[in-house]
Chain A
């Protein structure tokens, strides 16, 4: 309760401050906030992949960023040098991400079933930061490549705020996919099975849920969301070999802030992180160079120290 009242007080304070600003400054702040929300939508989709895998198999997938980068490079390769039509390329990328998900699940995650969360965490860390990164560099080189534009270009102006169409479309696409995932988890039998498996794999197995299949599905969904996130992130930035680090570093504070088990939490967390980043770019970067690069890490540490289970996560109770 105390946390809620503190948050409410901060929100009211920000609102009062905001309304007392001169009109020009208010427009600038509004612009930053709207841009931040657009960015946050895409971050939410990136973070969703991490949450889906964690929710079903209790594996914190640190390789998500690197897989996203590999699939983004693959999409670029299909669209630009190979020049395939968009839908064909999307289908091929989707099929590839299904295969990647299945391979990771079968070869690396299944032998590790029953190991502690920390062991699988380190495994995905090594997988993401070295193996997948290496494969992407080997196959596609490491140079930045502009992704061919998928969404219509141009900008939408409402009052004093302008929104670029690619960003808006990315936000709408991300929000739509997010809704699909939330519905799946909340209202379908498969989603219920996933939540049951995350609660207790052994009991779920004995109740007749195919736990291994659930793990495989989770990894496939994770990789599909990585493909989608890569596509949308690259409508904002070029594809680059640091894209993987960029994505996972933005996804970490989102996931931690929202609570690692909570899908709606990931969305709210992503919006907060996106807005915070845009505000930092607008107001702090001119005074302290590169501060917005540091912001995600400060947020990670602050969230971890103040509220390790996040806003909507479950508090862990330890026993001997």
Chain B
């Protein structure tokens, strides 16, 4: 619902993402703040923010694939790995320019995604999830066993990235690059949702048979969703490879894919804003856990438990949070945020229930027709 006194008087203002002047000002302020973070944050926080940015790019891809098109993939971490390995192999073995590798690694992840998306011709629901699970292990197996390209279990090391004379080795420079990519990816992700293809994705998610009889070529759009989702993963992999400057099979684990899905669930299924909510909240929770909760636990429990605590508390806490969201608030933080906004806008009369617009109600919900 709109705040009091704001009316959409023309169709294009109804369709616009940024409808009012306040929106534009807020966006400008947010961009300025985000791009000036290196002035007042130290390297530790910049590292966390870079990690978060890379996760956001990967989850935006997963959002298009799973949130919009309803094809849940738990191989996203492996597709990120495909992007990272592509750039590592091309620069170290063939000596290609690292910026030229950016589109190549996005494309290669996309093509691998297309290949492993082929089963969706026949499969839906959790059968498809199982086939992406298999895809994850097949991709990781290839990383481990094609030693001559991928360096086996040890992986590969990359040279630092530079843009002409500018060295992007420092955290702050790399942070700016990551942020630029995140902003671009968010812009694309939000707008793909608003194209004909995006509406076709949503139609397929909501009812596949109905979409098919309405003339949407379902299989072609599903493949397109796989391709776009994995393009984002490839770009995230490129960033990842240059952030860590080494790639190894152990960096891309199944649990990372589960966290990506978890970010979608916590943030809100099927909304771009939800991707940001999920990624930011889980990343900061991770910092809280590593810096405050784990040391406290290590201090209060017997000393021989220390090694186990650092490995396991994250698994238990994040898994518990994702499960709690699935049971208690399947629409995620995005829905809570919308409710908060309408509460504020209605302020003295907040207790009166407002009928929610139908398409808004649908958004952010894992629909029954998925299964």
Q: Which residues of B contact A256 (CB under 8 A)?
A: 127, 130
Let me know if B308 and A60 touch, CB within 8 A.
no
Of B8-16, B23-31, B206-214, B227-235, which stretch is located at the interface?
B206-214
Contact A249–B137 (Cβ < 8 Å): yes
**0/1 string, B347-371, CB within 8 A of A gives 1:** 0000000000000000000111111
Interface centre among A297, A298, A319 (most CB of B within 10 A): A297
Q: Provide the residues of chain B in CB contact with A125, threshold 8 Å.
A: 74, 129, 258
**Closest-CB distance, A243 to chain B (whole angstroms):** 15
Q: Is the CB of B207 within 8 A of A320?
A: yes
Contact B319 A134 (CB under 8 A): yes
* Chain B 276-320 interface mask (CB, 8 Å, partner A; 1/0): 000000000000000000000000000001011101111110111
Expressed in whole angstroms, the Cα–Cα distance for A83 and B322 within the complex equals 38
Cβ contact within 8 Å between B130 and A300: yes
Report the Cα distance A288→B142, complex, angstroms: 12
Asked if A134 and B326 sit within 8 Å, CB to CB, the answer is no
Answer yes or no: B145 CB below 8 A from chain A CBs. Answer: yes
- What A residues does B72 contact at CB under 8 A? 118, 122
- With a cutoff of 8 Å between Cβ atoms, the chain B residues found around residue A294 in the complex are 137-138, 141
**Which residues of chain A from 288 to 310 have any CB-CB distance to chain B below 8 Å in the complex?**
288-290, 293-294, 296-298, 300-301, 304-305, 308
Docked pose: A289 CA to B146 CA in angstroms? 10
B209 lies within 8 A of A131 (CB): no
With CB as the reference atom, state the residue of chain A lying closest to B330: A119
- Residue of A129, A135, A142 near B258 (CB, 8 A) is A129
Give which listed residue, A127, A134, A245, contacts B323 with CB less than 8 A. Answer: A127
Instruction: Say yes or no: is B261 at the interface (Cβ < 8 Å to chain A).
Output: yes
Known: A116-B371, A249-B137, A289-B145. A129 touches B254 (CB 8 A): yes
Q: If A129-B255, A300-B130, A308-B127 touch, does A137 touch B323 (CB 8 Å cutoff)?
A: no
- State in angstroms the CA–CA spacing of A237 and B368 once bound together: 41
Chain B nearest CB from A309 CB (Å) reads 9
Question: Residue-by-residue, is A217-260 near B (CB-CB < 8 Å gives 1, otherwise 0)?
Answer: 00000000000000000000000000001000100100010000
Q: Is B126 an interface residue (CB 8 A)?
A: yes
CB atoms of A134 and B312 under 8 A apart: yes
The segment from B38-46, B104-112, B117-125 found at the interface with A is B117-125
Q: Which of A60, A112, A118, A134 contacts B314 (CB 8 A)?
A: A134
Task: Give chain A residues whose Cβ lies under 8 Å from the Cβ of B119.
Answer: 301, 304-305
Q: Are A116 and B368 in contact (CB under 8 A)?
A: yes
A118 partner, pick from B129, B308, B322, beta carbons under 8 A:
B129
Shortest Cβ distance from residue A206 to the other chain B in the assembled complex, whole angstroms = 21
**Across the interface, do A141 and B307 meet the contact criterion of CB distance under 8 Å?**
yes
Q: Which residues of A contact B307 (CB under 8 A)?
A: 141
A118, B366: Cβ atoms closer than 8 Å: yes
Q: From residue B14, how far is it (CB to closest CB) to chain A in Å?
A: 31
By a CB distance below 8 angstroms, the chain B residues around A130 are: 255, 258, 315-316, 318-319, 322
Q: How far is the CB of A61 from chain B (nearest CB, A)?
A: 11
Q: What residues on A are CB-neighbors of B138 within 8 Å? A: 294, 297-298, 301
Chain B residues lying within 8 Å of A123, measured Cβ to Cβ, are: 323, 326-327
A134 touching B315 in the complex, CB below 8 Å, given contacts A119-B326, A126-B323: yes
Which residues of chain A are near B308, meaning CB under 8 Å?
Answer: 137-138, 141-142
**Which B residues lie within 8 Å of A312 (CB)?**
none
Instruction: Establish whether residues B126 and A117, one from each chain, have CB atoms under 8 Å apart when the complex forms.
Output: yes
Task: Tell whether, in the assembled complex, residue A320 and residue B210 are in contact, meaning their CB atoms are under 8 Å apart.
Answer: yes
Whether B327 contacts A108 by the Cβ 8 Å rule is yes
Closest to A123 in B: B326
Q: Is B179 an interface residue (CB 8 A)?
A: no
- A113 to B: closest C-beta gap in Å: 11
Nearest-CB distance from A128 to chain B (Å)? 9
Our pick among A118, A137, A297, A305 for the contact of B315 (Cβ within 8 Å) is: A137
* A130-B315, A134-B312, A304-B130 known; A119+B371 contact, CB < 8 A: yes
- For residue A286, CB closer than 8 A to chain B, the reply is no
B184 within 8 A of A: no
30 contacts between A and B (CB under 8 A): A116-B368, A118-B125, A118-B366, A119-B371, A121-B125, A122-B261, A122-B265, A122-B326, A126-B262, A126-B319, A127-B319, A127-B323, A129-B258, A130-B255, A130-B258, A130-B319, A130-B322, A133-B315, A142-B311, A249-B137, A256-B127, A289-B145, A290-B145, A297-B134, A300-B130, A301-B119, A304-B119, A305-B118, A305-B123, A308-B123
Can you name 5 extra interface pairs (CB under 8 A) apart from A294-B137, A294-B141, A298-B138?
A122-B265, A131-B323, A138-B316, A142-B311, A301-B135
